[in-house]
Chains A and B, each alone.
Chain A
Amino acid sequence: MKYLDEFRDEAAARALSQEIRNVTTRAWILMEICGGQTHTIVKSGIDELLPSSITLVHGPGCPVCVTPLEKIDRAIALASRPDVILTSFGDMLRVPGSSTDLLSVKAGGGDVRMVYSPLDAVKIARNNPSRQVVFFGVGFETTAPANAMAIWQAHQLKLDNFSLLCSHVLVPPAIDALLASRTNRVQGFLAAGHVCTVMGYEEYIPLAAKYRVPIVVTGFEPVDILQGILMTVKQLETGRFEVENQYSRSVRREGNIHARNLIDRIFEPGDQKWRGIGLIPKSGYAIRSEFSTFNAEKRFPIDVAEVQESPLCIAGEVLQGLKKPHECSAFGTQCTPESPIGAPMVSSEGACAAYFLYGRMNRAPT
């Protein structure tokens, strides 16, 4: 991992921070899309290195956070069935549904297992032919290839006991929705490097042109983020609105063609509900009908009631960059990682968790 050291180097960070100061002549509001970037920013204290005229607001790029409550309740209902082994990533198991979370279902006797990859879930399905294995797959474009591969493998293996409970979201329609909103205050974006590693960045070119905003594809290490900020501010200061690629060591314009082909084979764009934000047209992936046998929602038709979010939680505003986590009255009091009210307090990509875990020093609850 030594190659990462150069992207965590103090001298490089200081030099970039100075250059950002030099080029900034007025106030700008930038949004980093990805929750992974939010965590780097708060964890390494990048906001302390920026001039006060630059405001970073945190975007909706936390897949766990935007997964609709009904979907989590559906996963909880499935996990409670004795014939089902429910698998998912660690974060997803702790997110509160309307009445409980998956870890509590596990403690109550449900077979809930944490995996690092959906392919591990396929393996579990092969090893447990008499049980139904469901992988609760959430995520942006980044995790779509692995989920698509899981379905593809299950299809090849003719497994009749594997299915995917799918809640996939897409970045470009979300940026479009944010920019089209009357309440928008974001002037430039750091796009998520990992998403673009898969998808490339061609989709962002019409968005930058339509809304006249700079979009810089950015990596995840402190030096990447400072460089992404510098590139965005330079564009803003000179009146440009282009798509630039800071993360060129990983991202190509066209992305990863093999991964994109696999996604297209299994999924098609569909309307998607975002927790805290609402329905955004064509902003998610749905499993194509020819693979519907692997669609957990088709295999297990369950009625899940639509439920109300806690009125205390301002996750929607946080995810749209309208408010910061510590501006929430429940932050750090009624809502903590041990007893979360909203998903952003749970996820390792959630903005509220980042503020709570790493950044509470100068951010007392307001």
Chain B
Amino acid sequence: MNDTPDFSSGLSCPIPLDQYPHILLAHGGGGKLTQRLIAQMFLPQFSNPMLEPLHDGAIVTINGKRFAFSTDSFVVSPIFFPGGNIGELAVFGTVNDLAMCGAKPEFLSVGLIIEEGLPMDELWQITQSMRKAAERANVKLVTGDTKVVDRGKGDKLFINTSGVGTIPEEISISPRNARIGDSIIVSGPIGLHGIAIMSVREGLEFESPVLSDTAPLNHLVAKILAQTRGIHVLRDPTRGGIASALNEIAAASDVGIVLREDALPVTDEVQGACEILGLDPLYVANEGKFLSIVDPSDTTKVLEILRGNELGRGACVIGNVVEDHRRSVVMKTRIGGNRVVEMLSGEQLPRIC
């Protein structure tokens, strides 16, 4: 019996010490509980210099050459939504994560977990749109896997994609790179993806329907990186919205961030839906927008490139990086007050991507 390993110290689960004996949906919401799960459960075990920056993807070096490597799982419900479906979302999601590392996405893997009973026709539509999405993003789906689970044990279809991209030598993008004085640019109106999904789930109807903004950002990012030198941080604000993304950047770079409420691009439809559903557009998911944290000398140039592209038409400066209130985000309100913009707490919209 002396061979029995001692589980009493190193292998005890750190999470139940908290008050959550079970995983809640909020643990996957991209907010504080997700962060805590990563910090307490995953990081201590797997910690290494490539994982630690907790960026959208890891930056790895092989034979002196730098690659970005990223993975993402998609569980959105419903699988078809206004403006897209789970297939293209899965392709663009990983493409965008790689682009946010400053990489040129090259190869993707696809893992399908299908629930018994999924209509073949729906799977066909989804794979067709994955093919088109890969063509549009100029990436190749080079390996894949298919599993089927019993009816009732999945929800139609879950997709995992992983991807690899090459990073040009001179590029250095990291959430740790934000500097005092930098401008914060968002590439267009926020909250479209989240509201597109919620409008289907809640049966909201608009004069013109809100469509998901799902799109590949790699070509636009490549153009900006080729023509400017002042991009310090890139981030696509998916789950948890721009509020959570900016909080992570403020913490990673040890800086403060100031937002201006009157500068935030929010369409009337998204604003209206948020009023009805009790949501804050700052926390609603995007799938085709990105935040750039830019040296002030390059702000105009970056805006010009963004606005010249259909995916960046609505780009604008929404705030700045400051020295005050380090590691937190503060918003100047429309009426001239200030509010703290916290990281997403709890789960605002489960299964949004």
Q: Could you list which residues of chain A lie within 8 angstroms of chain B, going by C-beta atoms? A: 1-2, 4, 8-10, 13-14, 42-49, 90, 94, 103-104, 106-108, 116, 222-223, 336-339, 348, 356-361
Contacts and interface: CB of A to CB of B under 8 A. Distances in A.
Contacts of A104: 20-22, 24
B18 A103 contact: no
Contacts of A348: 278
A339 B346 contact: no
Interface of B: 18-26, 32-33, 36, 202, 262, 268, 271-272, 275, 277-278, 325, 330, 333-342, 345-346
B292 to A, nearest CB: 26
A361 B330 contact: yes
Contacts of B262: 10
Contact of B340 (A48, A107, A116, A357): A357
A107 B33 CA distance: 14
B272 A43 contact: no
Contacts of B20: 104, 107
A13 B335 contact: yes
Nearest to B36: A338
A103 B333 contact: no
Contacts of B277: 116
Given A1-B275, A104-B20, 14 more contacts: A4-B275, A8-B334, A13-B335, A13-B336, A42-B339, A44-B335, A45-B335, A49-B337, A104-B24, A223-B335, A337-B32, A337-B346, A338-B32, A338-B346
23 contacts: A1-B271, A1-B272, A1-B275, A8-B334, A9-B335, A10-B334, A14-B335, A42-B339, A43-B333, A44-B334, A45-B339, A47-B337, A49-B337, A94-B346, A104-B20, A104-B22, A107-B22, A222-B335, A338-B345, A357-B342, A357-B345, A360-B340, A361-B340
Contacts of A45: 333, 335-339
A45 B336 CA distance: 7
A44 B25 CA distance: 30
A4 B268 CA distance: 11
A43 B330 CA distance: 11
Nearest to A47: B337
Contact of B202 (A90, A116, A223, A359): A116
B338 A107 contact: no
